[in-house]
Amino acid sequence: MLDELGDWRKTHYTKDITPDLAGKEVILGGWVRNFRDLGGLKFISLQDKYGERQITIKKGVISDEIFEKSKVSYQYCIMIKGIVKAFKDAPGGVEIIPSEIKILNTTPDKLPIDMTGETVSELDLRLNNRALDLRSLKNQAIFEIRGELLRSIRKFLFERNFTEITTPKIIASATEGGTELFPIIYFEKEAFLTQSAQLYKEQLSGVYERVFEISDCFRAEKSRTKRHICEIFTLDVEIAFSPMEDVLKILEEMVHNAIKDITENQMSALKYLKVDKQTVIPEIPFPRYKYEEIIALINKRFSFDIEFGEDISTEAYRKLGKELPGYYYITHWPMSIKTFYIMPSKNPKYSESFDLQKGMLELTSGGTRVHNKEQLIKALEEKGLNHLAFTSHLNAFDYGMPPHAGFGLGIDRWLTVLCGLDDIREVVMYPRTPDRLTP
């Protein structure tokens, strides 16, 4: 028989239970992370969204009825009412001596994955049981850092006069080239899931001047790597009356500031993930290298043969990442491998574009945009795209579009780096890959 919630309400979260509350009665609720039964003495690690506290159940101290009732198993959902007692060897320096226990829900005898933290189950198995897996202390740490990162980014941008925008995810035509689109049926028409907020953020920079969006984008890439997923979470930024140089400055300041906030506010999560020592606030300005310098470096140092106009292969990035493990920019990519909305440099062989790298990993790409309509139409045609498919976007350029520049940053990739992890799926609550559509 399960207990009912009735009129019980939590008085605290685990994190709020400190030795200062010694002698006070509290009501906690959560899940049984671990338990030990030593006959006349039982311990339950009760976990909630913020952490855990020890419940100590001693025969003779509490009623026989409650003692009997405290037969729990892993991840039972329980609530307890009890008195806080200082105990320096337990989490938070306290234990709770219960006077009542409610068992709100039970679990099967054997859980599909280890939830005690003693072993780590295989990632795919964990993802199959994600709602359970996300309760693990490791995942708590990852998603606390994610929360801090998003708070920090928003705060940083709001303090600098940015407006948060929301743009459509159902779109009529490609923004980043045609190959990576997910088609959908939109009533009787074909439509697509957006690959990026690109075109809308550009239009809105002509309204709100400094805009950002943090949202999902969809990439139909069949890349089965540890860096690629099909539903990505990106930060898109666009700044009017500014060229690329201003964007480079804002982005590196934002990165510096976010890592500072994480080290200040999430040290215990960093420690749990064992990345507290390696997390250093990067110095700004970040090193800036031109694409040409980078390919020369890779060719010379690692005997590659990359020619101007070629993309840099994963293998080359892997080597480069060993040489340049920190944050750095690669700027002025060949115009021939950039999309239509990127502004060519004075010498049109190059472009006003950049990537932000962390070691081998590309976190961001961006640049100065073309804001002149005729030039944009020409650029579309040169890239083999029919400008008529972009009519509604191009219309926005009839009405005084300011010069603008911006970037798109992959939050999931960045978080993977910040948590010292290797697989991007670890940092996404419900990742979408070519092989995974559920849960």
Nearest CB to ligand AMO, comparing residues 130 and 219: 219
| Amino acid (1-letter code) at residue 295 | I
* Binding track, positions 370-409, relative to ligand AMO; x by CB under 6 A: ------------------------------------xxxx
Distance separating alpha carbons of residues 73 and 66, to the nearest angstrom: 15
Least spacing, CB of residue 356 vs ligand AMO, in Å: 8
Q: Is 209 exposed, middle or buried (0-12, 13-18, 19+ CB in 10 A)?
A: middle
Backbone angles phi, psi at 243, to 5 degrees: -95, 180
**Which residues face 98 on adjacent strands?**
82
Instruction: Give the shortest CB-366-to-ligand AMO separation in angstroms.
Output: 4
Minimum distance, C-beta of residue 216 to ligand AMO, in the bound complex (Å)? 11
Query: Does residue number 413 form part of the binding site for ligand AMO (CB under 6 A)?
Result: yes
Residue from 259, 412, 418, 426 touching ligand AMO (CB under 6 A): that is 412
| In the complex, least distance from residue 118 CB atom to ligand AMO, rounded to whole angstroms | 31
Residue nearest to ligand AMO (CB): 410
* Maximal CA-CA distance, the chain: 86
Does 206 help bind ligand AMO (rule: CB under 6 A)? no
CB of 238 to ligand AMO, least distance (A): 7
User: Whose Cβ is closer to ligand AMO: residue 42's or residue 404's?
Assistant: 404
- How many residues interact with ligand AMO (rule CB under 6 A)? 24
Q: Is residue 410 a contact residue for ligand AMO (CB under 6 A)?
A: yes
CB of 314 to ligand AMO, least distance (A): 13
Q: Which of residues 3-42 bind ligand AMO (CB under 6 A)?
A: none
Of residues 198 and 345, the one with the C-beta less far from ligand AMO: 198
Is residue 56 within 8 A of residue 37, CB to CB? The reply is no
Q: Identify the H or E element spanning 252.
A: helix 244-265
Cα-based angle 315, 283, 332 (whole degrees, multiple of 5): 50
> To the nearest whole angstrom, how small is the minimum distance from the Cβ of residue 278 to ligand AMO?
21
Q: Which is nearer to ligand AMO, 76 or 407 (CB)?
A: 407
Stretch that binds ligand AMO, among 66-74, 289-297, 361-369, 391-399 (CB under 6 A): 361-369
Q: Which residues pair with 45 in a beta bridge?
A: 34, 54
Residue 167 in contact with ligand AMO, rule: CB under 6 A:
no
d(CA 366, CA 152): 21
CB 31 within 8 A of CB 51: no
- For ligand AMO, the binding residue among 70, 365, 368, 433 (CB under 6 A) is 365
As a 3-state breakdown, the chain gives helix, strand, coil percent values, each rounded to 5, of 35, 30, 40
Pairing of strands 163-164, 210-218: parallel
Of 54, 56, 136, 196, the one binding ligand AMO by CB under 6 A: 196
To ligand AMO, the closest distance from the beta carbon of 318 in angstroms equals: 16
3-class SS string, 157-195? HHCCCCEECCCCCEECCCCCCHHHCEEEEECCEEEEECC
Q: What are the residue ranges of helices labelled H in 282-383?
A: 291-302, 314-323, 373-382
User: Near ligand AMO by CB under 6 A, which window of 112-120, 132-140, 272-280, 359-367?
Assistant: 359-367
Binding mask 276-315 for ligand AMO (x = CB under 6 A): ----------------------------------------
Nearer to ligand AMO, 107 or 163 (CB): 163
Our finding on whether 431 is near ligand AMO (CB under 6 A) is no
List 47, 56, 198, 416, residue binding ligand AMO (CB under 6 A):
198
Q: Does 366 bind ligand AMO (CB under 6 A)?
A: yes
How many helices (H) and strands (E) are present in the chain, helices listed first?
12, 16
By CB under 6 A, name the one of 363, 370, 385, 401 that touches ligand AMO.
363
Please report, as residue ranges, which positions from 228 to 257 form the binding site for ligand AMO (by CB under 6 A).
Answer: 228-229, 232, 234, 236
User: Closest approach of Cβ 151 to ligand AMO, in Å?
Assistant: 20
Q: What is the rounded CA–CA span in Å between residue 3 and residue 33? A: 19
Q: Are 192 and 215 in contact (CB under 8 A)?
A: no
Pick from 74, 71, 81: nearest CA to 33: 74
Under 8 Å CB-to-CB from 273, ≥6 apart: which residues? 138, 141, 142, 145, 419, 420, 421
52 vs 236, beta carbon nearer ligand AMO: 236
Characterize the bridge pairing of strands 288-290 and 327-331: parallel
Binding site for ligand AMO (CB under 6 A): 176, 196, 198, 219, 221, 228-229, 232, 234, 236, 362-367, 406-410, 412-413, 424
